[in-house]
Amino acid sequence: MGTGIAQVCTLAGLDVWLNDVSAERIDAGIGRVRDGISRQLAKGAITAELSGQASTRMRAAVDYEALSACDLVIEAATEKEATKREILTRLRGKLAPAAVIATNTSSLSVTRLAAFTDRPDRFVGIHFMNPVPAMELVELIRGVATSESVFQSAKAFVERVGKTFSVSEDFPAFIVNRILLPMINEAVYTLHEGAGRLESIDKAMKLGARHPMGPLELADFIGLDTCLSIMQVLHEGLADSKYRPCPLLVKYVEAGWLGRKTGRGFYDYSGDKPVPTRN
């Protein structure tokens, strides 16, 4: 997600500083951004001139002090609240007074995360969809303390990078994932209970509901750990049994079968063609 956000920002003419847990990860991230720009160039989606300009706008931020010149810092860590809290806490005192902090969280409370910063009034949720370069929508979420001027600047930023925003209230999983993830979870229940085979479930939703990807294929793309985290946020935050994560989803995550990023989830991606891991 971080590299995708960096890619659309550089192509929009913004200077980007990329930070990660190590110098190696930063370099790898910058490489992924440049690869993404090259793919867009090869498809004719951007010009060679724009590609060359964008590639020069990325810099490595080896520590949080290197972010002191930034007007906007977007946290795009894994969907674990403890990890996000640690990052936001460590950012205290490192940024310019006028800088805005945004979180790309897909489900967590923006208000609660803001409390771990030194500027709750200058904190906002800017949730990009994955894959960022291809998806048009960005959800904007205002925390209780978010100032009106910061919220308006977030809208302007989203438009600057060529996206369209929808505004969500600060409820668990916001709009897209509150609707999408229970559907995926129900597809896992359908598999778990034997109502349909894995490929049949995906085929049914692609051909019967005109979805571009089947729900189990989509879960692998998102990451099963992320799917589980969002369902847990919904279940705990709304206290409704309809959001209970399917035991099969829990089991796959416990096994480390997280989807495409680990090479195995509901499908095995080790061969030329994905193969179901469960019938």
Comparing CA positions, the residue from 158, 142, 135 lying closest to residue 221 is 135
Reply yes or no on whether 106 is catalytic. Answer: yes
Pairing of strands 123-128, 137-142: antiparallel
Tokens of 82: 């403890």
Q: Which of 127, 168, 217, 229 is catalytic?
A: 127
Q: Which of 51, 104, 168, 177 is catalytic?
A: 177
Comparing CA positions, the residue from 118, 116, 113, 163 lying closest to residue 142 is 113
Reply yes or no on whether 177 is catalytic. Answer: yes
CA distance 177 to 188: 16
CA distance 74 to 62: 16
Contact partners, residue 188, CB within 8 Å, separation at least 6:
216, 219, 246, 248, 249
Burial code (b: 16+ CB inside 10 Å, e: under 16) for 11-33 equals bbebebbbbbeeeeebeebbebb
Q: How far is CA 194 from CA 137, 189, 191, 206, in A?
A: 35, 8, 5, 19
Reply yes or no on whether 127 is catalytic. Answer: yes
Contact partners, residue 161, CB within 8 Å, separation at least 6:
8, 9, 11, 12, 14
Fill in the amino acid letter for 174.
F
Q: Which of 104, 106, 168, 229 is catalytic?
A: 106
CA distance 46 to 6: 16
Q: Which of 109, 139, 185, 229 is catalytic?
A: 139
Active site residues: 106, 127, 139, 177
